[in-house]
Amino acid sequence: MKIFAAEQIYAADKTTIKKQNITSDVLMERAATRLFEWLHLRLQGNPVKIHLFCGIGNNGGDGLVLARQLKEEGYNIAVYVVRYSEKRSDDFSTNLERLKKREVTPDVLEEGDALPTISKDDIIVDAIFGLGLNRPPDDWVVALFEHLHRSRAFTLSVDIPSGLFTDRVPSDKKAVVKANHTLTFQVPKLVFFLPKTGIFTENWEVLDIGLDQEFLSTAETDYELIGKNEVLAFYEPRKKYSHKGTYGHSLIIGGSYGKIGAVHLAAKACLHTGSGLVTAYVPQCGYTPLQTNLPEAMVITDAAEKHISKIDFDIEPTVIGLGIGMGKDTKTVNALGQFLDVNKTPLVIDADALNILSENEEFLDKLPPRSVLTPHPKELERLIGKWDGDFQKLEMAKSFSQKYDCVLVIKGSNTLTIYDGKGYVNTTGNPGMATGGTGDVLTGMVTGLIAQGYPPLQAAIFGVYMHGEAGDTMVEDTGYQTLTASKLIEGIGEAFLDLFAVDDDVLADEE
Ligand SMILES: NC(=O)C1=CN([C@@H]2O[C@H](COP(=O)(O)OP(=O)(O)OC[C@H]3O[C@@H](n4cnc5c(N)ncnc54)[C@H](OP(=O)(O)O)[C@@H]3O)[C@@H](O)[C@H]2O)[C@@H](O)CC1
Ligand SMILES: [K+]
């Protein structure tokens, strides 16, 4: 699903109004009707008090239409206009009049006014600011946001939590409404997925308001949200007359004394993702544990006992996963430099190899085109430098990826894959995966996909999705705390099966 920038949403709005030959008022009515339906389906006439806080623009207008529809259905509402500006949008004014005709006159809240009492069992609808926010809210509006937060009432934000910009991180956390749920129009917003802005809404959901389909499908966007539909398009079925050679030979290079487990995890994940053959290249101390515990993998050992001292092998791998558990011994650093001088095989680079690249920038120029780099935030910072906010981070990551022609996988709760100026936001995964070894599993999975012929960008996007999906499958049995990297590998098979699982609801409909 595409993630549109605010200007594109305004443009989609205009095109829709023109092509459907409707007024903006009709579109607002449609949007607010979706909000009403959502609430009504859940509340079923429940007399709970609903406080609707409306701004003076179209976000506020949505709130006023919702208030009218709730009133008509007999809900217990209180409506407030948050008068943060003298201006009013036309559709706001039209709908204020319509509401007044139904004998609902909102309380106008201005600077210095007493704030309404809200009980924790009430519901708050936040329609104060939407996409039109262009500067930080005034202090008294921030005080209102804090008041809403202190009430602990369920807070439903319309389109976007008020105070949240679509293109920058707010400098003051208090200046944003903390939404329990956000009902966003037509398309998800990038800020729902970034670490410093995603925290303002616990959940989000898209409401289809019928914006012009042609506009939505033809517009180019800088970001895309990756779910099952998107990765299904990449999936390559296994062929009947195939053999292990058809699916490539992955070489996993890494490990050091005390960190052989990382290689074990990556190699095993690589096998479970479908690589035809897997060989591990490790220091000698890794030989026995790997041969004993992972019989499907082959092992080549370095001359040194405890760390890699020279990368030298006589096989022709399809792809190399490099760096897990490798350490940064001087000999390992030299070995990596010499290896990169001659290597032409596609690479997936993680962990210590990333840190070595950060400390030896000249190595970056030696990477083969479209190498996949999988940093966690600290490793990313070492690679691209310090950033100021999520948006600058993304721009710096895009420049880095362009400069070195590499696919950058920024690991996090919504892992973001960057390539060729575009970002792909993953939707699978859970906090149980924040545990040692899960990164090694990802490296193995992406390597295993490239081995089978997936182009590096698709392998990265697909691998990240499947890695999260494996975690989501397993966490149902283990709970967050007990989800280990080994458990994640067990879930890879389920993640593949899930790609083709038919929804229970669909089956029920057919019966
Ligand atoms: N296409 C769609 O998806 C549809 C969208 N719809 C809805 O429209 C919403 C966008 O509405 P909107 O453009 O009127 O902006 P909104 O956020 O209500 O702000 C109002 C005005 O406030 C001002 N302002 C800004 N910052 C400020 C500040 N700190 N303190 C004080 N004032 C400030 C600024 O005006 P300015 O003062 O800069 O001239 C701004 O214009 C969108 O989120 C969705 O809910 C649906 O109705 C139908 C279909
Ligand atoms: K809002």
CB 242 within 8 A of CB 274: no
Task: Give the C-alpha separation, 204 to 52, whole Å.
Answer: 19
CB 295 within 8 A of CB 301: no
Residue of 81, 131, 187 to mutate, ligand 1, most atoms within 8 A of C-beta:
131
pLDDT of residue 227: 96
Q: What is the DSSP letter of 305?
A: S
CB 159 within 8 A of CB 187: no
Which ligand sits closest to the CA of 128?
A: 2
Task: Give the C-alpha separation, 131 to 158, whole Å.
Answer: 10
pLDDT of residue 119: 98
**Total Cβ atoms within 10 A of residue 42:** 10
pLDDT of residue 448: 98
- What is the predicted ipTM? 0.98
Q: What is the DSSP letter of 57?
A: S
pLDDT of residue 243: 79
CA distance to 36, 138, 174, 196, per residue, from 191 (Å): 24, 21, 16, 8
Under CATH, what is the fold of the domain 2-221? Rossmann fold (3.40.50)
Residue ranges of the chain that CATH labels 3.40.50.10260: 2-221
Cα angle for residues 29, 30, 32 (degrees, 5° grid): 65
Among protein residues, the one whose CA lies closest to atom 11 of ligand 1: 58
Task: Give the C-alpha separation, 74 to 70, whole Å.
Answer: 6
Whole-number Å distance, alpha carbon 195 to ligand 1 midpoint, is: 24
Q: What is the DSSP letter of 20?
A: T
CA distance to 63, 73, 233, 337, per residue, from 43 (Å): 17, 11, 38, 63
CA distance to 56, 134, 136, 481, per residue, from 89 (Å): 7, 15, 19, 50
Task: Give the C-alpha separation, 414 to 399, whole Å.
Answer: 20
pLDDT of residue 361: 94
pLDDT of the chain along its 511 residues, tens only?
999 999 999 999 999 999 999 999 999 999 999 999 999 999 999 999 999 999 999 999 999 999 999 999 999 999 999 999 999 999 999 999 999 999 999 999 999 999 999 999 999 999 999 999 999 999 999 999 999 999 999 999 999 999 999 999 999 999 999 999 999 999 999 999 999 999 999 999 999 999 999 999 999 999 999 999 999 999 998 888 877 778 999 999 999 999 999 999 999 999 999 999 999 999 999 999 999 999 999 999 999 999 999 999 999 999 999 999 999 999 999 999 999 999 999 999 999 999 999 999 999 999 999 999 999 999 999 999 999 999 999 999 999 999 999 999 999 999 999 999 999 999 999 999 999 999 999 999 999 999 999 999 999 999 999 999 999 999 999 999 999 999 999 999 999 999 998 766 655 655 5
Among protein residues, the one whose CA lies closest to atom 27 of ligand 1: 133
- Give kind and range of the element (H or E) at residue 150: helix 139-151
Q: How many CA atoms does the CB half-sphere of 402 hold within 13 Å?
A: 10
- Give kind and range of the element (H or E) at residue 223: strand 223-226
Task: Give the C-alpha separation, 27 to 162, whole Å.
Answer: 21
Tell me the sheet residues that pair with 417.
409, 424
* CATH no., domain 231-235+245-499: 3.40.1190.20
pLDDT of residue 331: 97
Residue ranges of the chain that CATH labels 3.40.1190.20: 231-235+245-499
Which ligand sits closest to the CA of 139?
A: 1
Tell me the sheet residues that pair with 85.
none
Length of the chain: 511
Protein residues whose CB sits closer than 6 Å to any atom of ligand 1? 9, 13, 27-28, 31, 55, 57-62, 84-85, 87, 89, 129-137, 158-159, 185-186, 209
* For helices 24-43 and 58-72, angle between their N-to-C axes, nearest 10 degrees: 50
CB 296 within 8 A of CB 276: no
CA-nearest of 417, 434, 436 to 426 is 417
CB 63 within 8 A of CB 123: no
Whole-number Å distance, alpha carbon 302 to ligand 1 midpoint, is: 62
Task: Give the C-alpha separation, 92 to 94, whole Å.
Answer: 6
**Tens digits of per-residue pLDDT, 198-219?**
999 999 999 999 999 999 999 9
Terminal CA-CA length for the chain: 30
